[in-house]
Amino acid sequence: MIFSSLVLLFLSITAKERIDTLYHKIDPFSISKQLAFYELYSQTDTGNRALRRALDLINIHRPLSEQIDCHVKIPPFNPSLIVGLSSQLTRKVPVEIRDEDLKTIQKISSHLSNRKLKGYSIGSLDEVKNLEIDQLDLTRILLLELVQDPKQRAYYEATVDLMALEILAHLPKGASLEEKLEKISSYVFHDMEYRFPPQSIWVEELDSFTLLPTILDSRFGVCLGVSTLYLALAQRLDLPLIPITPPGHIFLRFEYKENITNIETTARGIHLPDSHYLSIQTKSFKRRDLKDVVGLNFMNQGALYWQQNDHQKAIQAYDTAIKYMGEDPLLMRFKGLQHLFLGEKEKADEIFKKIRNVTLDGSTYKDTQIDDLLLGHIDKDGLKMLYNKEADDRNALENQIKKLQAKLKDYPKFRDGLFHLAGTWLALHRTKEAYDVLVTYHQIDPKNPVVEYYLAALALERMQLDEGKIFLKNTQQLLKEQSYYPNAIKDLYMAYKKEDPTFNF
């Protein structure tokens, strides 16, 4: 009997020590991990210690009048919800969330800064139009647009709330804006390991990794997708950020006093200087607001439907984008193309005439696709070729060249077709063929600084210096007219100077 009692005592001590050891291994600043531990060991002293620690972490940032009393029992959490947030595991379907889970999350998240926004309280999209831009809640609007089931909307919103609480728990009371910025990046890119989707996935469904539910479920995202999540978290932490869009990309910017920090969400949130995004083709960026970000999400959703040849759904997505970002020229071009591909030429032409020869924000040259279409320099099938899936091996590239050459035989003045053909030749390292195609482009239109620059660079590589100098001077003059002096021009000039010290602009 005494022996049995000693064995039981030994086992109980061992179990307690084991639980204590486990507890000391978890992150002392992680609310979700503390609560997950409490869920597993709620009947033990250590489990209750974890609950108190979690509440302490939450209360640090709550007003004294709204402190959560650790002696008041909180409704139990769904362990799957907590573990899912605490790990980097992807979810094929959202975890089912219970009403008591929602009540708990809403209670412990009530101090987050987005609760002050009028947009947080809206329950329908009809209410959005009455909101000022600085009152928009990005998460709420996107989920109202994207998710029909109110329970699933609540789940995704709660997930973002829990993520924000995790970040806050690692911040001191009264944290600076810079500290908030650092912790969001650390959490998103290192703790949760958000990444650009692997090639095996994104080749087929790249644009789906823009949408917030997909981002939260998969832990993968393209530039717009991860930027959207980052902005949603920033709103909850009262961190002002500016979305910036060079053509075809988006990054975030933090401006404070004299300091500017760019957040490149495709590279773990590192700062890249503005010069990284500038090129011969891109001379400036557009500052966006949160309405634009919503619109851009649906612009990418339209691209996903387009990729699936569902042009009608693409139009619907583009119409949703127009609600938020107006008749953006690139957006209207994409919408017009869907009508064109559906055989609705009159609707397409009505759109195209409004955006003909428009220069997209930040670009150094006007858009030529629509102009060539209206001039009869290309047909709808030729335009479709430009938006087909990119070739990724030699056979596919060679096949693409044959198709482009055949189309250009019928439409020799199609400028974007020539540009794409030159790019495909370059992908095969066939510089002579690429150069010859770009010369043809130049003969049709000598005003495109991008083409002139590529001709100058290829001429240097082929040691056709006299021709190349002319193209380089053309490039410099065209950009000078726009008061734009990119480093690429200076670098190419110095390369020519090395070959011919007498050369000057």
Q: What does the pLDDT look like over 110-121, one tens digit per residue?
A: 999 999 999 999
Question: What pLDDT was estimated at residue 20?
Answer: 85
What is the secondary structure of 338-391 as a DSSP string? HHHHTT-HHHHHHHHHHHTTPPPTTBSS---HHHHHHTTSS-HHHHHHHTSPPP
Lowest mean pLDDT among 97-106, 302-311, 485-494: 97-106
The residue with greater pLDDT, 337 or 388, is 337
Report the alpha-carbon angle 69-75-80, nearest 5.
Answer: 125
Q: Is the pLDDT of residue 264 over 60?
A: yes
pLDDT digits (tens, 9 = 90+) for 168-188: 999 999 999 999 999 999 999
Q: Is the pLDDT of residue 86 over 60?
A: no
Question: What pLDDT was estimated at residue 81?
Answer: 62
Buried b (16+ CB within 10 A) or exposed e, 399-437: ebbeebeebbeeeebbbbbbbbbbebbbbeebbeebbeb
Task: Name 184's Cβ contacts closer than 8 Å, sequence gap at least 6.
Answer: 167, 230, 233, 234, 237, 239, 269
Q: Is the pLDDT of residue 337 over 70?
A: yes
For residue 77, being part of any structural domain is answered with yes
**d(Cα 53, Cα 37) in Å, to the nearest integer?**
11
For residue 300, being part of any structural domain is answered with no
For residue 497, being part of any structural domain is answered with no
Question: What pLDDT was estimated at residue 8?
Answer: 54
Q: Going by DSSP bridges, is the β-strand pair 251-256/259-263 parallel, antiparallel, or unpaired? A: antiparallel
**d(Cα 62, Cα 102) in Å, to the nearest integer?**
19
For residue 231, being part of any structural domain is answered with yes
- Same-domain pairing of 112 and 261: yes
The residue with greater pLDDT, 209 or 127, is 127
Q: Is the pLDDT of residue 492 over 90?
A: yes
What is the phi/psi pair of residue 195, to 5°?
-140, 160
- Same-domain pairing of 39 and 133: no
- Same-domain pairing of 52 and 122: no
Query: What CATH number is associated with residue 138?
Result: 3.10.620
Mean pLDDT of the chain: 89
Q: Is the pLDDT of residue 333 over 70?
A: yes
The residue with greater pLDDT, 16 or 151, is 151
Question: What pLDDT was estimated at residue 73?
Answer: 52
Question: What pLDDT was estimated at residue 311?
Answer: 97
- Same-domain pairing of 126 and 250: yes
Give percent above pLDDT 90 in the chain.
Answer: 64
For residue 500, being part of any structural domain is answered with no
Mean pLDDT of all residues in 97-103: 80
Mean pLDDT of all residues in 282-291: 95
- Same-domain pairing of 34 and 126: no
Mean pLDDT of all residues in 43-57: 89
Q: Is the pLDDT of residue 212 over 60?
A: yes
- Same-domain pairing of 107 and 151: yes
pLDDT digits (tens, 9 = 90+) for 352-373: 999 998 999 899 999 999 999 9
Q: Would you say the pTM of this structure is higher than 0.85?
A: yes
- Same-domain pairing of 280 and 143: yes
- Same-domain pairing of 184 and 70: no
Domain stop point among 288, 319, 346: 288
For residue 104, being part of any structural domain is answered with yes
Element of type H or E holding 251: strand 251-256
Question: What pLDDT was estimated at residue 310?
Answer: 96
Residue pair 282/362 in contact (Cβ under 8 Å)? The answer is yes
- Same-domain pairing of 61 and 111: no
Mean pLDDT of all residues in 413-431: 97
The range of the structural domain enclosing residue 269 comes to 99-288
For the chain, give percent helix, strand, coil, nearest 5: 65, 5, 30
pLDDT digits (tens, 9 = 90+) for 215-244: 888 777 778 989 999 999 999 999 999 999
Lowest mean pLDDT among 281-295, 363-377, 385-399: 385-399
Q: Is the pLDDT of residue 438 over 60?
A: yes
Give percent above pLDDT 70 in the chain.
Answer: 89
Mean pLDDT of all residues in 392-418: 95
Question: What pLDDT was estimated at residue 207?
Answer: 47
Question: What pLDDT was estimated at residue 215?
Answer: 84
Question: What pLDDT was estimated at residue 505?
Answer: 78
Lowest mean pLDDT among 67-76, 246-255, 472-481: 67-76
- pLDDT band with cut points at 50, 70 and 90 for residue 200: very low
Domain stop point among 230, 262, 288: 288
CA 254 to chain CA centroid, Å, is 16
- Same-domain pairing of 114 and 28: no
What total number of domains does the chain contain?
2
Domain stop point among 288, 308, 341: 288
- Same-domain pairing of 232 and 192: yes
- Same-domain pairing of 131 and 56: no
Residue pair 200/88 in contact (Cβ under 8 Å)? The answer is no
Q: Is the pLDDT of residue 388 over 90?
A: no
Q: Is the pLDDT of residue 83 over 70?
A: no
For residue 323, being part of any structural domain is answered with no
For residue 484, being part of any structural domain is answered with no
Question: What pLDDT was estimated at residue 410?
Answer: 97
Mean pLDDT of all residues in 287-315: 95
Mean pLDDT of all residues in 67-89: 60
